Amino acid sequence: MDLDAIRRVERIYRDRLRSEPCDTLSRVRLAWCLFALSLHEAGRESAYAALRSQQLPDAANLEEASFLLPEVAATSLLDDCLRQTYAAIHLSQSRREQQDAAELQALVRLVSGEAPLARAENWAKEILTAIVSDIGEDQHSPWDRSSFEDSEIPYEITLLDYSD
């Protein structure tokens, strides 16, 4: 796996989403990058934990294995991946993009179980509930962005940045 290439592509998609947050195709592709990175980091976490669990004769051996320490927690990457899939499913008008995001969620379910999906689904429900609540209370049309100052526009999909 070429991690540097995946990280470069991740940055490209994050940059694109900063300028075009409704680009759901980029959001799905970012989710796939995050999934690949989360698998890699989970492997590093497991390898390091296995080394630590062995009663190593000296700490120098453990220090030599510090390259196995994850750069970002695998669960953080996986959670971000799933947030991107839920956002794409709810925002996209493309059946193909929705299907791709749902397939990625199914793969996560096979690899990691229900807990990560439950966290991401709760996040999506909280965001959608808040948006619907604000729409009901707000006298502005939810689609008329010109009626808000940029700083007042709520609920932009958060983009986490794991790069240096």
List of the chain residues with pLDDT < 70: 54-71, 135-164
pLDDT (0 to 100) of residue 159: 52
Residues 6 or more apart in contact with residue 76 via CB below 8 angstroms: 160, 162
pLDDT (0 to 100) of residue 23: 93
17 within some domain:
yes
Taking the whole predicted model, whether its pTM rises above 0.75 is answered as no
Residues 57-88 have pLDDT tens digits of 555 555 666 666 656 788 999 999 999 999 99
pLDDT (0 to 100) of residue 81: 95
160 within some domain:
no
- Domain extent, residue 95, equals 3-138
User: Structural domain tally of the chain?
Assistant: 1
pLDDT (0 to 100) of residue 72: 76
46 within some domain:
yes
